[in-house]
Amino acid sequence: MTKPASLVLRSAQLSAEILPGVGGALSRLDWTGGAEPVPVLRPYAGADAAPRPNQLACFPLVPWSNRMAGGFSYGGERYPIAPNREGDPFPMHGEGWQRPWTVAFQSASQVLLMLERRDGAPFSYRAALDYALRGNALVVTLEVTNTGALALPFGLGLHPWMPRTAGTTLQAGARKVWMAGPDKLPSHAQAIADAWSFERERALPEGAIDNVFEGWDGRARIAWPENGLTLAIEADSGYYIVYAPPGGDFFCFEPVDHLINAHNMAGGPARHGLTILAPGQRLRRTFRFTVT
C-alpha cells in the first residue's frame, strides 16, 4: 500500500499538512517563524499507509461530536446508530473523520475539502472543510448542509491533539462541567472544582480528565514555556472537551458546539447546543488557531 496523498499549506509563519483521504485530517501544524519548525499540534510521526485519525494532529467532527448513546429519537422516529470504533460500545465523533474528502479548491495557503453523504442514514448531508493559513493563524471553517428529507439535529466541532510538556498551561473559562458515569456519558453538571478550573491559566491536572465544559466564551490559550510558543483558540462554540490521560505526552482541547450525547439529554437536543436543520439548511462553525 502507498502512503495517503497529502497537501502542504504554507504562510510566512506556519506550515500545515493535510490528508484529504484520511478524514480530511491535519497530520501536522508547525510554527516556522524561527530557525527550526516547532510542532503546534501533535504531529503524526508514523509511516503507515493508512494512519488512524486518532494518530493525527486534528480531525473534523461532523455531523456530531463525541459519544452518542446508540442512536436517538426525534420527530417521533427512532434512529439507531451502530458503534464505529473498535472497543467502544457507542458511535463516536460522527463519521466525517472516517471518510475520504475530495479537494474542491487549493492554493499555496488554503484548501477546501468536500464530503457528500447523500446516502447517509439517518444523516444525509454535504460537508465543507476549509483550511486557510493567514500569517500566524490557521482558520478552519467547517460547514454542513442537510440534504435529507427530514429535519434532524446536527452538531460540529474539531478534535485537535496538542503536545503536553511539563510546563504546559491552559486557560479556558466555563460556567460548569459535566461529570460522566461508568459509560463515559454525561450524568450531571456541577460547579467546576478548583483542580479543573481553567478560568485562569494553569497546568493540566495530574489525574485523568475526559469531560465536557459548558458555558465557554469561545476563547482559550495554551502555552508551552519550554519553546516559548502560545496558541490562542477562538471558536463560535459554547462547549469544550478536555481529554488528558495521566502521564501522557499529549492532551486534547476540543472546541464543540454541543454537549456529549446531546441528542438524548433531557430537554431535547437544541437545549444542549445541537442545531435542528430542515432540509436544505446549513450550519457553519469557524475555529481560529493563532500562534505567537
Read off the pLDDT of residues 28-46 as tens digits, 9 standing for 90 and up.
Answer: 999 998 889 999 999 997 7
Cell of 2: 502507498
Q: What is the pLDDT of residue 63?
A: 98
pLDDT along the chain (292 residues), means of 10: 84 97 96 93 82 91 97 96 92 96 98 94 97 97 97 98 97 97 95 96 95 98 97 98 95 98 96 98 98 96
What are the CA-CA distances from residue 35 to residues 13, 32, 65 (Å)?
A: 11, 7, 37
Given this model, what pLDDT does residue 155 score? Answer: 98
> Quick check: bond before 255 cis, omega within 30?
no
The reported pLDDT for the residue numbered 2 is 65
Residues 61, 113: Cα–Cα separation, whole Å: 14
Residue 52: per-residue pLDDT: 83
Specify the length of the chain in residues. 292
The 10 Å Cβ neighbour count of residue 226 is 12
CA distances from 43 to 6, 20, 108, 287 (A): 14, 16, 20, 19
Name which of 119, 288, 139 is nearest 218 in CA terms: 288
Name the grid cell of 49.
499507509
Instruction: Please give the C-alpha separations between residue 135 and each of 40, 58, 138, 171, 232, in angstroms, as whole numbers.
Output: 15, 20, 8, 23, 14
**Phi then psi for 278, rounded to 5 degrees?**
-75, 165
The per-residue pLDDT for 209 is 95
Angle (CA) 274-279-285 rounded to 5° is: 40
Quick one: pLDDT at residue 68?
A: 97
pLDDT in tens, 175-231: 999 999 999 999 999 999 999 999 999 999 999 999 999 999 999 999 999 999 999
pLDDT value at position 3? 73
**d(C-alpha 62, C-alpha 157), whole Å:** 7
